[in-house]
A and B are shown apart, each in its own frame.
Chain A
Amino acid sequence: EVQLVESGGGLVQPGGSLRLSCAASGFAFASYAMSWVRQAPGKGLEWVSTISISGFSTYYPDSVKGRFTISRDNSKNTLYLQMNSLRGEDTALYYCAEDRAERGYSFEWGQGTLVTVSS
């Protein structure tokens, strides 16, 4: 059974940093692209980042480019999201997701970890 378990969320002040982790199990983690998708309270889904199988290629929307960094450790079956210069609009539930391809869609999702940016 595929399991994606996010952790690292919490309350952080504006301008602060946070590192999210996603522990993967039940599938060949090193064979799949991975993504982060977020959902602000009561709002829709927003794609945050995608990383290739090797980790050499990464993709971001303009809203987080230069502030967020996605990475992975295939030896630990773990996905990361380093978030710097956090803003109030980054407050959301952050989902880790398994993708069919780098330029693709997500077919397995974790349950999310909540990030709250507030003073």
Chain B
Amino acid sequence: DIQMTQSPSTLSASVGDRVTITCRASQSISSWLAWYQQKPGKAPKLLIYKASSLESGVPSRFSGSGSGTEFTLTISSLQPDDFATYYCQQYNSYSRTFGQGTKVEVK
């Protein structure tokens, strides 16, 4: 199975900061990567698919990049609503796997 590793596990930031989360795959997954946001007590929300495609309705401050084994999710200017946990997920194979999550907390 393909393993997904996110870093950091926790990130402390302030409103207005530029935030970057990294996701690494144990083998090449081309661009078959999605990013989700999850808030406490809520279901995950799709942000990005195919590594860099923004899901409809998601603010443009969110962006994704990368291919192969290394990917990033960037929030250009962190907003109060963005404090949450973020997960990457590969779909290069029919056996999907998620990263362990990155919690973005208030600095």
Interface residues of A (CB under 8 A from B): 35, 37, 44-47, 50, 59, 61-62, 95, 100, 102-107, 109-112
Contacts and interface: CB of A to CB of B under 8 A. Distances in A.
Nearest to B34: A105
Interface residues of B, number: 25
A29 B96 CA distance: 21
B22 to A, nearest CB: 16
A105 B1 contact: no
Contacts of B38: 45
A44 B101 contact: yes
Interface stretch (B10-18, B43-51, B70-78): B43-51
A106 B55 CA distance: 11
A107 B91 CA distance: 13
Given A45-B101, A47-B95, A47-B98, 6 more contacts: A45-B36, A47-B96, A50-B94, A95-B44, A103-B32, A105-B46
Nearest to B46: A107
Contacts of A46: 98
Interface string B76-107: 00000000000101011111111111000000
A45 B44 contact: yes
B91 A105 contact: yes
B98 A45 contact: yes
A102 to B, nearest CB: 7
Contact of B100 (A44, A50, A95, A111): A44
A100 B55 CA distance: 12
Contacts of A50: 94, 96
B44 A109 contact: yes
B46 A44 contact: no
Contacts of A37: 44
